[in-house]
């Protein structure tokens, strides 16, 4: 489960959110060599967060 992925207000729009999301997905994929996995689930904080995750296919 992905939670509390956040970028400081002053740094928004600099692709840090995307970097952190891709990094988390890569780490999840790496972990599948040791732990059986089915999916990555995220609980969006609000509608704004939801639209960010939807943009990346969640
Ligand atoms: C959501 C959040 C992590 C995005 O981080 P960011 O660094 O500002 O976003 P990025 O610069 O990496 O944006 C990458 C792409 O996502 C898009 N995007 C960013 N926020 C978006 C949103 N809320 N809805 C839809 N698209 C969004 C950008 O426009 C950009 O799109 P592009 O490829 O077409 O240019 C950040 O706004 C944040 O911390 N929000 C508050 C906390 C939060 O809601 N976290 C989620 C917890 S569940």
Residue 36 lies in a domain: yes
Residue 1 lies in a domain: no
Q: Whose CA is nearest to atom 29 of ligand 1?
A: 13
Residue 6 lies in a domain: no
Domain residues for the domain of 37 are 14-55
Residue 8 lies in a domain: no
Residue 46 lies in a domain: yes
Closest alpha carbon to 25 in 10, 5, 50: 5
Query: In total, how many domains does the chain have?
Result: 1
Residue 41 lies in a domain: yes
Closest alpha carbon to 37 in 45, 22, 49, 27: 27
Q: What spacing in Å lies between the alpha carbon of 17 and ligand 1's midpoint? A: 6
Q: Which atom in ligand 1 lies closest to the alpha carbon of residue 43?
A: 48
In tens, the pLDDT along 28-40 reads 999 999 999 999 9
Please give the average per-residue pLDDT across 14-33, as a whole number: 96
| Structural tokens at position 43 | 């609980």
- At residue 4, the pLDDT reads 83
């Amino acid at each position: 489960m992905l939670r509390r992925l956040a970028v400081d207000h002053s740094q928004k729009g600099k692709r840090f959110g995307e970097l952190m999301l891709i990094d988390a997905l890569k780490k999840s994929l790496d972990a599948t060599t040791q732990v059986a996995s089915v999916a990555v689930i995220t609980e969006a904080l609000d509608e704004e967060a939801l639209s960010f995750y939807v943009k990346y296919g969640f």
